[in-house]
Amino acid sequence: MSESPTPQADTLWVTVAFADRQLRLEYQWLGRAHTNAPLMVFLHEGLGSVSMWRDFPAQLCQALGCRGLVYSRPGYGQSTPRQAHEAWTSDFMHRQALEVLPALLKALEVSEPVWLFGHSDGGSVALIAAAQRPRLVAGAIVLAPHIMVEEISRCTIAQAQEAYLHSGLRGKLARHHADPDSAFWGWSRAWLDPAFENWSLEAELAHITCPLLAVQGLDDDYGTLAQIHGIAERAPQTELLELANCGHSPHRDQAAALTARVLAFYKRHAPA
């Protein structure tokens, strides 16, 4: 990663319509002055938010010479919280990809195809968008994405529920979410719902035609290499990056190695 200081972006808000409600989403622009550069949209993990990315998006955009858009999905960060009675169903990632993301880009008057950089659930959202909205997506980088439900994922999420109730995880998340219960219980209950056991993106992946880089840490306790290998089997243009000494968050555990590979990938596929 670059050692030069990265300027802090201002947090802004935009209102979009979703599920018969008006939702307020927090977002940040990065490198917006580079009006002719491609736009990279960052899609956070299942417990993520704008602030939980820290400075990685800004540093990556600086390395790539592109613009960036970082936002918190509904229910996360400082965006409109999930309603107390609202239970996210097994299609929650599809709704984020096919309803919220297009609505956000329309509200921000983004009309050109964008690059997607997704982590975990955000990686799955990126894959769904690339498969079902090909005109929207110029390319995608996905870190620790989920294309199917593995037992390791459900076990780790069950452990996270115990940590949230008894070991201080709620307090840690409260630093990043206006309503940590909204984010945590929306995400964890959806994943552990018996109706989610057969959730899969495998049938959709063959429809992805854009350049795709899929990344997995070898020490990831939320998923195995079967996730990214499954992507490559169905979308043969996929490039794979397997990182040793890396858990579920390659952008934190192996930032330098990840950035170097993303830069090489991006230079091959992004317009000059």
| 106-159 confidence digits (pLDDT tens) | 999 999 999 999 999 999 999 999 999 999 999 999 999 999 999 999 999 999
Structural domain that includes position 200: 12-267
| 34-88 confidence digits (pLDDT tens) | 888 999 999 999 999 999 999 999 999 999 999 999 999 999 999 999 998 999 9
φ, ψ dihedrals at 229, nearest 5°: -65, -35
Which residues in 49-67 are b (16+ Cβ under 10 Å) and which e?
A: bbbbbeebbbbbbbebebb
| 162-204 confidence digits (pLDDT tens) | 999 999 999 999 999 999 999 999 999 999 999 999 999 999 9
- CATH number, domain containing residue 21: 3.40.50.1820
In whole angstroms, give the CA distance from residue 181 to residue 169. 11
Residue 1 included in any domain: no
In whole angstroms, give the CA distance from residue 268 to residue 167. 45
Q: Which pLDDT value is given to residue 32?
A: 84
Q: Total domain count for the chain? A: 1
How open is the CA angle 176-181-183, to the nearest 5 degrees? 60
Task: Give me the sign of the Cα torsion angle 75, 80, 83, 87.
Answer: negative
Q: Which pLDDT value is given to residue 33?
A: 81
| Burial of 109 per CB tally in 10 Å (0-12, 13-18, 19+) | exposed
Residue 3 included in any domain: no
Task: Give me the sign of the Cα torsion angle 60, 50, 69, 121.
Answer: positive
Decide the pairing of beta strands 21-30 and 67-71.
antiparallel
Residue 104 included in any domain: yes
Closest by CA position to 72, among listed 138, 122, 108: 122
Residue 261 included in any domain: yes
Residue 272 included in any domain: no
Q: Which pLDDT value is given to residue 7?
A: 52
In whole angstroms, give the CA distance from residue 142 to residue 49. 16
Residue 169 included in any domain: yes
State which H helix or E strand residue 124 sits in.
helix 121-132
Residue 111 included in any domain: yes
% of the chain exceeding 70 in pLDDT:
97
Q: Which pLDDT value is given to residue 2?
A: 36
Residue 7 included in any domain: no
Mean of pLDDT values over 197-223: 98
Average pLDDT over all residues of the chain? 95
